[in-house]
Structure 1
Amino acid sequence: MNALRRVEVEGVASYTISIGPQLLADGPRIAQYVRGRHALLVSDENVAPLYADRVEGALREARPGLALTRFVIPAGEQEKTLVRFTQCLDALSALGATRDATVLALGGGVVGDLAGFVAACWMRGIDCVQLPTTLLAMVDSSVGGKTAVDLPAGKNLVGAFHPPRAVIADTAALRSLPDRELRAGLAEVVKYGAIFDATFLDWLEAHADALLARDDATLAEAIARSCTYKAEVVARDPYEHGDRAMLNFGHTFGHAIETEQGYAGTHGGGLNHGEAVAVGMVLATRLSAALGRAPVADAQRLTALLQRFGLPTTIPAGLDAQALLARMRLDKKADAAGLRFVLWDKAGAARVVSGVADDAVIAALAAG
C-alpha cells in the first residue's frame, strides 16, 4: 500500500498529519514546512545513523541554501532532561537560529518531547516539525503539542503546549523498529479503543497477528485511526482542561512506575513507556471494577488483548505500593481534590474521576 493518508488536526493551531511510506526521503514535503533559513535536526544515537542522512540529504536538495545542522542525544527516557534541553538550545544559538527557524524532531517520544519543548522556548516559540520513527510517537506523542522534559521527581513536570507545524509519519521506519518498541506503541493504539471506541478493540483483536507481523496496510490503518481519535479530542480541548485528559488512561499508574524505576526502560531492565502504560491500563480497569464503575469482564478482555500483543500486565517485582502512591500525588493529573484517574464505565467509555481514595488505589496496586 503506497497511498498517502492525511489526518487534519483542527483547533487553535491547525496542522496536517501525513502517514505513508518513504516520507523521510520526501524533501519537498518536509521543506514546505521550513519557513526560514535555519533548521536544527534533533535525533538520538539509535535513530540518527538510520535516517538523519536521508532527511538531511532530501532537505538540502529541496532547499540548497538552508543552514541545517543536527543535535544528537543518547537514546532513552533518562536523556529527557533539563541538561539536554539546555544543550539543544545552545545548538540553536550556535546555528544563529532566528524567529523563523525550524526544529525537526526525528525519533521517538523522547526526541519529540525534548525538541518540541526547545522549539516552544527558543525566542518564545519557533516551528517544530515532528518526524516520528516509532509507532508510539506516531500515534501519541508527536500529535497534540504536549512537550516536556522530566525531573527526578516525575515525568514531564517541566514543559509547554506547543503544537507542531506538521507531523510526517514514515511507516517504512517501523521496519527497523525493535519488536519491543513495536509492542510498546501498540499499547497506545489499544488505549484509543479502550477510551473511545469498543469497535476499535474488536478490530485490533481481529488484526493482532497482522499488526505484529508489521503488515504495512494494517499498521497504516491503525496509525490513521489512532491519530483521528486523538485529533478530534485535541481540537476540542487543546490545553487539557476537559476531554483531553482521557488520553491519560493508564498513565497515572504508568508514569509512577516509570519514575520509581528511574526511567530504566531502555538500559536498566525496567519497563519502557508503552509497557508501563499497558500495566497502568490494567490497573485502571481493575480500579474501575473495584469501585463498581465497570464490569470485571471488560477488564479481563483488555488484559487479554494486551497480553496477545506481548505486553506486561502486572507491576514489576520490587515496587512498593506506597512509593508508587507518593509518585502519583505529584503527578500533573492530581488536583486539589486529590488523586485523579481516568477510569472507564465499560470498554470504549472513559471519564476523569477525582478524589479517588488512597486505600482503593493501594488495593489495586496490591492486586497488580
Structure 2
Amino acid sequence: MPETPTTDGPTVLHVGGASPYDVVVGRSLLDRLPELIGGGVQQVALLYAGDLEQQAQRVAESLIDSYDVLALGLPDGESAKSAAVANDCWEALGERNFTRSDVVVTLGGGATTDLGGFVAASWLRGVRVVHIPTTLLAMVDAAVGGKTGINTGAGKNLVGAFHEPAGVLCDLEFLDTLPADELVAGLGEVVKCGFIADPEILRLVEAGPDAARDPRSPVLRELVERSIRVKIDVVVADLKETGGLDGHPGREALNYGHTMAHAIERATGYAIRHGEAVAIGSIFVAELARAAGVIDDELADRHRTAFASVGLPVAWSGEAGFDDLLATMAVDKKSRGSQLRFVVLDELAKPRILAGPDEAHLRAAYAAITRSA
C-alpha cells in the first residue's frame, strides 16, 4: 500500500480498490482540504456536529473563496442519525440545487460521519463526500471504509449504504481539545484492531497506556495510523462484507465485539459511548470463545487487561437482562435468518465466524461481563 513514512509532516495512507482515495493523518491539515474536494466543484455542503460551530466556521472560511458553502448544523451524537435529520439535509440540498458535481464535507464524530455519508450516498444516488473526523473513534472507524447509515427503532445502522469517501482528513489537532473520556472511548476501536489484526497495537497500549491517552504523543499517532491501516487492508479486500479468503471473515472482522455492543447501546438509549460498548462487547465474545473452547484463558484474560489499561470498562452493570439483549442481537445486521453470528478469535489476530453458538455459552459470557460490574 503506497504511503509516506510517519514524520512531523502528514502521513498519506492510500485506499485502493474501485474508488481509490487518500486518508491524510497529521496536524494543521486544513489547507489540504481543497485537493481532497477536487476540481469542478461549485458548492460544498458542510454538515457539522452542532457543538462544533466554531470549528465549522474555520472550515467554512477556508473554503469560501473557492466554493459556495452551505453550512448545516446537526444534532449532537446518535440523535443526528435519524430519517428526519437526513430528510432535513435533503431538503436543504434541494433548495440550493445541489448537483452531482458538488461535494458534501462532514465535520464531527462518528454519528456525523455516518449521517453525512448517508446523505451524500442517497442524494442524486451518490455525490462525493470528504470526511473530517474530529474524534479518535471517527478517525479510526467511521470515516474510513464507506459504511454510512442511520438508526431506526429496531436498532443501530439498519438503514444505510456503502459509499466510499473522496478523501479523509484526520487532523490530530482536533484531539487536543477532545474530552479525555471521549478520547479513551475511541481507544475501544483501537484495541479491537490489535486483537483482530495487529498485535503491535496491543504491545504499544500495554507498554504505554498513558502515552496512548495523550493526544500529542507519537504513540497515539502511531496507534491511529496502525488502526487505519488495519481497516484499509480489510476494506480493500472486502468492501461490501461478502466474506474473505481462507476462512477469514473479511470485513465482518471489523465487527468484533459489535453485536453485543450495539445491543448494549440500544438498551441504554445510547447513553454509553460506542467505544466503551465495543470494549465490553469484545470481552463478551472473548468469554464466549472461552466457553466454547475456541481460545485459551490467557488470550481471553488479555482482553480485560488490555482494555482496562487505558481506562475502558471491562464489565457492564446489566441494565438489560440476557433475554432482552439476545432479542436485540437477533436483529443485528450480522445475523442470518434466526442464526446468531459472532466474530471470535481462533488465536490472536486470527478472527473467524462462530455461527449459532450454544445458548449456555452465550449465557456464560453474559454472566462473565456482568459478574464484576
Structure 1 residues without counterparts, runs of 5 or longer: 266-270
Question: Do the aligned partners of 1:152 and 1:259 also contact (CA within 8 Å) in 2?
Answer: no
Query: Structure 1 residues 94, 319: closer, same or farther in 2, change over 3 A?
Result: same
Q: Please give the residue correspondences for 1:13-52 in structure 2 after superposition, counting only pairs within 5 Å.
A: 13-30=19-36, 32-33=37-38, 35-49=40-54, 51-52=55-56
Structure 1 CA distance, aligned partners of 2:178 and 2:362?
35
Structure 1 CA distance, aligned partners of 2:206 and 2:40?
43
Residue 208 (structure 1) shift: 1.7
Q: Please give the residue correspondences for 1:58-137 in structure 2 after superposition, counting only pairs within 5 Å.
A: 58-61=62-65, 63=66, 66-137=67-138
Question: Do the aligned partners of 1:37 and 1:100 also contact (CA within 8 Å) in 2?
Answer: yes
Q: Which residue of 2 aligns with 1:6?
A: 12
Deviation string 1:21-73 (CA, Å, 9 cap, x unpaired) is: 0113545445x436421111001122233x11111111124x1xx11111112
- Does the residue aligned with 1:3 lie in a helix, a strand or coil? coil
Structure 2 CA distance, aligned partners of 1:27 and 1:342?
36
Structure 2 letter corresponding to 1:40: A
Q: Which structure carries more relative contact order (alpha carbon 8 Å, separation 6+)?
A: 1
Q: Please give the residue correspondences for 1:215-254 in structure 2 after superposition, counting only pairs within 5 Å.
A: 215-242=216-243, 243-254=250-261
Query: Structure 1 residues 319, 69: closer, same or farther in 2, change over 3 A?
Result: same
Q: Please give the residue correspondences for 1:276-291 in structure 2 after superposition, counting only pairs within 5 Å.
A: 276-291=277-292
Q: With the length of structure 2 as denominator, give the TM-score of the two structures.
A: 0.92
Residue 152 (structure 1) shift: 1.5
Q: Which residue of 2 aligns with 1:255?
A: 262
Q: Which residue of 1 aligns with 2:367?
A: 366
Structure 2 residues without counterparts, runs of 5 or longer: 1-6, 244-249
Q: Please give the residue correspondences for 1:197-208 in structure 2 after superposition, counting only pairs within 5 Å.
A: 197-208=198-209
Residue 315 (structure 1) shift: 1.8
Seq. identity, %: 39
Question: Do the aligned partners of 1:6 and 1:18 also contact (CA within 8 Å) in 2?
Answer: yes
Structure 1 letter corresponding to 2:263: A
Q: Which stretch has the larger CA shift, 322-331 or 356-365?
A: 356-365
Structure 1 CA distance, aligned partners of 2:163 and 2:213?
32
Q: Which stretch has the larger CA shift, 148-157 or 204-213?
A: 204-213
Q: What CA RMSD, in Å, does the superposition of the two structures yield over aligned residues?
A: 1.5
Structure 1 letter corresponding to 2:188: A
Deviation string 1:188-234 (CA, Å, 9 cap, x unpaired) is: 01011100122331122123211212234222211111111110110
Query: Structure 1 residues 357, 35: closer, same or farther in 2, change over 3 A?
Result: farther
Deviation string 1:91-117 (CA, Å, 9 cap, x unpaired) is: 211221011111101000000000000
Question: Do the aligned partners of 1:15 and 1:166 also contact (CA within 8 Å) in 2?
Answer: yes
Question: Do the aligned partners of 2:46 and 2:70 also contact (CA within 8 Å) in 1?
Answer: yes
Question: Do the aligned partners of 2:184 and 2:312 also contact (CA within 8 Å) in 1?
Answer: yes
Question: Do the aligned partners of 1:35 and 1:102 also contact (CA within 8 Å) in 2?
Answer: no
Q: Which residue of 1 aligns with 2:246?
A: none
Q: Which residue of 1 aligns with 2:159?
A: 158
Question: Do the aligned partners of 1:24 and 1:54 also contact (CA within 8 Å) in 2?
Answer: no
